[in-house]
Amino acid sequence: MNEIYAIAMLVAFFGFLMVGFPVALTLALSGFVFGYLGFGAGLFNLLPSRIYGVVAGYTLLAIPLFVFMGVMLEKSRLAEDLMEVVGHLAGNTRGGLGVGIILVGIVMGATTGIVGATVVTLGLLTLPSLLKRGYDRGLACGVICASGTLGQIIPPSLILILLADIMNESVGTLFAAAVLPGLLLSAIYIAYLLGLGLVRPDMVPPVPQAERDAMGRRELLTKLLRVALPPLGLVGCVLGSIIGGVAAPTEAASMGALGSLLVTAIGGRFSLKIIREAVYDATKITAQMMFILICAQIFAIAFRGLGGERLVEDLFAILPGGTSADVWFMLTIVFVLGFFIEWIEICYIAVPLFLPVFQNAGTDLVWIAALICVMLQTSFLTPPFGWALFYLRGVAPTEVSTADIYRGVIPFVGMQILAVLIVFLIPGLATGLPKLIGW
């Protein structure tokens, strides 16, 4: 009977979402109703401690700090100027602005390792500029969501650190294993955008010629020095502080927040009004994100209590044996669970179920960890439950609909599945670099 409630809860969640209910309230309502029907109020006795554990997490302190950095740059219009410089540097290249966002996503992913903070920051920095320059709304949203999830696989990724502990592997080994798959995925994105510029130039237009002609070389150089290089230097310093072991991601986020004030001052846009607006918007966005995460705990407790995870496993239990089947079985479950529960829970609950199977079969766990990271990125993007879509919805302009976001990410989901297949067929992409450097 509980399994029926679990299925009904998923159907109800999808139905509420489609008729326009807010995401957070939909998560809480479906979780409370069907969890209570299955077990009564006792199921939620652990909810207070669960919520406290989420909101008191040290790592989550990076979210408001990185959001403030993005909002500060957006309010000072430095982001708009930065996109203008990138557009001029891209010249006549169709899709050049999108490629620039992918490259920024790589750097941001390496800086934060947190999907919510990266998607929100990229959304604030780049989405208005893309829409202003005529990019297809769905494609613009897809590029931002896909770029924002690169932090799940590009070191230093929190997922890799967690998997290293679960699999009893070196953190450095998994970091090295994720480098080539992360670059592969980024290269697939870039190839898609450049190819789209050839077959559908209307979707990825370059900066108009008249706009580029209006800016002389001297003005371009001045903007490059005053507008483009300081933000890039800020990101470089934040990234370097983490990789160099000088600061943790949360500490680096505080450096980024402070650095955004300095960069704004260098660009000549610093004012108390901008600070006041940035603090207000950063607080509002962070509150929205945290409310979604809190309500998601209600949904996750009910789903697990009703045997949802066991139901998902049973649905795939009839698959034939063999190591390859076991790998795809696990990846499928990771993909499905990524719709409903956080990646931390997936790592600690779903992944250990399959470790003995792979250890007994002599399967390289470094390769398995890389596959899990790429597949988990896919679940963050897949409609209607992908978390990256929810985060972008919270900061997207009113003219961008939820349907635009869903439509835009579908091609990128296909590209991520292609990347999973390539890493599956060529394990050396994950295991080669660790072996080369002796880890």
Percent of residues, the chain, with pLDDT higher than 90: 6
**Per-residue model confidence as pLDDT tens digits over 283-340:** 887 787 778 778 877 887 887 777 776 765 665 566 666 677 878 888 888 887 777 6
Our CA dihedral for 270, 273, 279, 281, rounded to 10 degrees, sits at -110
**Per-residue model confidence as pLDDT tens digits over 52-74:** 876 776 666 777 887 787 777 66
For residue 118, give every residue at least 6 positions away whose Cβ sits within 8 Å of its Cβ, in sequence order, or none: 66, 105, 108, 109, 112, 147, 148, 149, 150, 151
CA separation for the pair 174, 295 (Å, rounded) = 32
Residue 51: inside a domain: yes
- pLDDT of 41 above 80: no
pLDDT band at 229 (very low <50, low <70, confident <90, very high): confident
In this prediction, residue 415 carries a pLDDT of 93
Residue 87: name the closest of 96, 78, 79 by CA: 96
**Per-residue model confidence as pLDDT tens digits over 183-224:** 899 999 999 988 988 888 878 887 666 666 666 667 667 777
Q: Using alpha carbons, list the distances in angstroms from residue 214 to 130, 267, 330, 419.
A: 19, 20, 55, 41
Give the chain's domain count.
1
For residue 5, give every residue at least 6 positions away whose Cβ sits within 8 Å of its Cβ, in sequence order, or none: 34, 37, 38, 306
> Are the CB atoms for 41 and 240 separated by under 8 Å?
no
Residue 248: inside a domain: yes
- pLDDT of 144 above 80: yes
Question: What average pLDDT does this structure show over 369-386?
Answer: 83
CA separation for the pair 214, 266 (Å, rounded) = 24
Question: Which one has a higher pLDDT value, 33 or 246?
Answer: 33
In this prediction, residue 332 carries a pLDDT of 85
Residue 18: inside a domain: no
Is residue 289 packed enough to be buried (19+ CB in 10 Å), middle (13-18) or exposed (0-12)?
buried
Residue 8: inside a domain: no
Residue 321: inside a domain: yes
In this prediction, residue 103 carries a pLDDT of 77
CA separation for the pair 173, 164 (Å, rounded) = 8
- pLDDT of 432 above 70: yes
- pLDDT of 117 above 90: no
In this prediction, residue 93 carries a pLDDT of 75
Question: Which one has a higher pLDDT value, 319 or 180?
Answer: 180
- pLDDT of 113 above 60: no
Structure tokens at 37: 């029907």
In this prediction, residue 425 carries a pLDDT of 92
For residue 403, give every residue at least 6 positions away whose Cβ sits within 8 Å of its Cβ, in sequence order, or none: none
Residue 377: inside a domain: yes
Residue 20: inside a domain: no
Q: Which of 8-22, 235-249, 411-425 is least confident? A: 235-249
In this prediction, residue 114 carries a pLDDT of 60
What is the span of the domain harbouring residue 83? 47-436
- pLDDT of 147 above 80: yes
pLDDT band at 90 (very low <50, low <70, confident <90, very high): low
Question: Which one has a higher pLDDT value, 84 or 413?
Answer: 413
How confident is the prediction for the chain on average, in pLDDT? 77
Question: Which one has a higher pLDDT value, 422 or 94?
Answer: 422
Residue 31: inside a domain: no
Question: What average pLDDT does this structure show over 73-85?
Answer: 64
Q: Rounded to the nearest 10 degrees, what angle do helices 387-395 and 365-381 cross at?
A: 40
In this prediction, residue 188 carries a pLDDT of 94
Residue 156: name the closest of 252, 257, 54 by CA: 252
Q: Which of 4-18, 112-126, 220-234, 238-252 is least confident? A: 238-252
Structure tokens at 306: 């009703």
Question: What average pLDDT does this structure show over 9-38?
Answer: 79
Question: What average pLDDT does this structure show over 131-153?
Answer: 84
Percent of residues, the chain, with pLDDT higher than 70: 78
CA separation for the pair 295, 293 (Å, rounded) = 6
